[in-house]
């Protein structure tokens, strides 16, 4: 069986099923990179078949991607779990502390075009180096503003913006990295591990920051410890390999659609929007709930430590659930069925969050709802990202991933502003409660559910194009 000809034929026939994903120059775009190089070089090697291989060194880059996602998201929620204490130290309001989350999320959106270009032309290594540099500088600027006497809150915000600019370089990279280094047997798990490291960092921030900070005077040391950890995590990026010597699969060897061409075709594809809308809404609300969780629970008499535990449960249970679901999906490839099952659970969890904080049963219902929300949200996250790559192949995976994450961060910033504005005043019962904000999140979460449930309906073909090429070309390693 000629792997090269079968791969090219499969990619052409599979892509032609949906005109919106049709390639402009099929012959040029589906030619394996190594084959093209051998033909230019000439000689007997031009007739040798491609050899696909996965390398153990791929785990070094994956570990660094995980590490950076952890520390950068920990940086994001540095002050959220201790919002009241932070406000006292800096001499500002809690709303001002919320803006540390908001500017971080908006910075993601600003950096997104550069991220797409960097991942497409420089690859994951260059993206991680950029993230490491911004994280390193941003953390120490925050620390300088915190240690100043009196503290310079504006300098802290500037450092937070730099860290926000760093986030998309690693958060949008997992699908590109797994496509470059992993076969179809491990792509979903690799994407899950790197992607879910991001909220794991948030969990560490929720739990550890509240332990490190018992009074306003503890804030400088907390920021120092986080800056040191972030600096250590940033160093290994420069030592990573740029890419594997040979591709892991047939689909990885095929040239992707040119960047500009792929972008405009992607945004004109209905399936992309059926995924983008709920992704942006659910990630946006996860960001806002994570940022505001202390303010959601504190009106009912719960401490910052209890709010930190709730945030930790939200994320840790989610990580455990994703660790179970992702390998199963890698084995059976049931992306769409799993998405359709998990979306209604997410909607129900947001409805439950409306009633949990005020429950007469105490903090336990909030813990339960956070666990349910985390399990469903985290399990679906890598499935959606990998499924988007599958149905839009051979578009570069970084385009869809970055656009989805940008939507989630943009919505997250907007949701924080809206939900903060919906906070009750001091005369309400209980004072400053966020009941209206939680109703707002529940309504939008339910409204977003029909979009992913419509995938594959109404006669639209959403075949797994990348997987079809790998299967037709022969089992990947």
Enter the DSSP assignment of 278.
Answer: H
Classify residue 147 as exposed, middle or buried by CB count within 10 Å of its CB (0-12, 13-18, 19+).
middle
- For the four alpha carbons of 434, 436, 437 and 442, in that order, the dihedral sign comes to positive
Enter the DSSP assignment of 31.
Answer: S
* pLDDT for residue 76: 87
**Which stretch of 133-137, 408-412, 440-444 has the lowest confidence by average pLDDT?**
408-412
Enter the DSSP assignment of 174.
Answer: H
**Residue 40 — pLDDT band, cuts 50, 70, 90?**
very low
More reliable by pLDDT, 418 or 94 = 418
* pLDDT for residue 250: 63
Compute the CA torsion angle 322, 328, 330, 336 (nearest 10 deg): -80
CB contact set of 267 (below 8 Å; sequence gap of 6+) = 403
Whole-number percent of the chain with pLDDT over 90 = 40
More reliable by pLDDT, 61 or 256 = 61
Can you give the C-alpha Rg of the chain in angstroms? Answer: 23
**Residue 472 — pLDDT band, cuts 50, 70, 90?**
low
More reliable by pLDDT, 466 or 323 = 323
Model confidence at 61: pLDDT above 60: yes
Q: Which CATH class is domain 58-473?
A: mainly alpha
Enter the DSSP assignment of 254.
Answer: B
* Residue 121 preceded by cis peptide, ω within 30: no
Q: Where are the domains of the chain?
A: 58-473
Question: Which pLDDT tens digit goes with each residue over 273-291?
Answer: 999 999 999 999 988 988 8
* pLDDT for residue 11: 40
As a whole number of angstroms, the distance between CA 280 and CA 286 comes to 10
**Residue 150 — pLDDT band, cuts 50, 70, 90?**
very high
Q: Where are the alpha helices (DSSP H) in 172-269?
A: 174-181, 187-212, 219-234, 250-253, 259-267
* pLDDT for residue 253: 59
Model confidence at 21: pLDDT above 80: no
CB contact set of 40 (below 8 Å; sequence gap of 6+) = none
**Residue 262 — pLDDT band, cuts 50, 70, 90?**
confident
As a whole number of angstroms, the distance between CA 405 and CA 205 comes to 21
Model confidence at 26: pLDDT above 80: no
3-class DSSP state for residue 363? coil
3-class DSSP state for residue 32? strand
As a whole number of angstroms, the distance between CA 316 and CA 193 comes to 13
Which whole number is the average pLDDT over 154-181?
Answer: 91
Q: HSE-up of 3 (CA within 13 Å, CB side)?
A: 20
CB contact set of 131 (below 8 Å; sequence gap of 6+) = 68, 72, 166, 167, 169, 170, 234, 237
3-class DSSP state for residue 9? helix
More reliable by pLDDT, 474 or 241 = 241
Model confidence at 1: pLDDT above 80: no
């Amino acid at each position: 069986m000629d792997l090269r000809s079968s791969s090219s034929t499969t990619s052409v026939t599979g892509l032609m099923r949906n005109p919106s994903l049709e390639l402009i120059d099929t012959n040029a775009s589906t030619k394996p990179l190594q084959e093209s190089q051998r033909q230019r070089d000439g000689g007997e090697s031009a007739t040798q078949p491609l050899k696909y291989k996965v390398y153990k060194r791929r785990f070094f880059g994956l570990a660094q991607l995980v590490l950076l996602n952890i520390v950068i998201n920990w940086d994001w929620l540095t002050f959220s779990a201790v919002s009241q204490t932070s406000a006292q130290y800096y001499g500002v309001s809690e709303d001002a502390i919320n803006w540390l989350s908001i500017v971080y999320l908006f910075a993601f959106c600003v950096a997104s075009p550069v991220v797409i270009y960097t991942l497409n032309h420089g690859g994951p290594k260059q993206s991680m180096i950029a993230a490491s540099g911004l994280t390193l500088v941003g953390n120490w600027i925050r620390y300088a503003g915190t240690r100043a006497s009196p503290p310079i809150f504006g300098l802290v915000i500037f450092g937070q913006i730099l860290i926000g600019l760093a986030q998309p370089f690693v958060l949008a990279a997992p699908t590109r990295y797994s496509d470059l280094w992993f076969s179809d047997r491990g792509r979903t798990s690799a994407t899950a591990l790197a992607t879910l490291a991001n909220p794991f960092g948030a969990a560490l921030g929720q739990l550890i920051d509240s332990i490190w900070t018992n009074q306003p005077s503890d804030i400088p040391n907390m920021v120092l410890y986080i800056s040191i950890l972030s600096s250590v995590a940033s160093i290994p990026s420069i030592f990573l390999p740029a890419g594997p010597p040979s591709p892991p699969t047939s689909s990885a060897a095929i040239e992707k659609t040119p960047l500009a061409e792929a972008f405009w075709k992607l945004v004109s594809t209905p399936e992309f929007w059926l995924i983008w809308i709920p992704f942006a809404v659910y990630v946006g609300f996860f960001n806002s709930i994570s940022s505001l969780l202390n303010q959601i629970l504190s009106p009912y008499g719960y401490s910052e430590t209890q709010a930190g535990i709730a945030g930790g449960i939200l994320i840790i249970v989610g990580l455990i659930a994703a660790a179970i679901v992702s390998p199963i999906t890698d084995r059976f490839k049931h992306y769409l069925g799993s998405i359709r099952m998990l979306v209604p659970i997410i909607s129900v969890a947001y409805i439950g969050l409306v009633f949990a904080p005020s429950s007469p049963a105490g903090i336990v219902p909030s813990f339960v709802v956070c666990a349910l929300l985390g399990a469903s949200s985290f399990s679906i996250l890598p499935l959606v990202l990998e499924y988007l790559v599958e149905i839009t192949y051979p578009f570069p995976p970084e385009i869809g991933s970055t656009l989805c994450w940008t939507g989630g961060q943009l919505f997250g910033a907007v949701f924080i502003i809206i939900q903060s504005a919906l906070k009750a005043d001091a005369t309400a019962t209980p004072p400053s409660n966020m009941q209206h904000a939680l109703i707002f999140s529940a309504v939008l979460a339910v409204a977003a559910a029909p979009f992913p449930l419509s995938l594959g309906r109404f006669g639209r073909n959403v075949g797994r194009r990348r997987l079809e090429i790998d299967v037709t070309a022969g089992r990947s390693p």
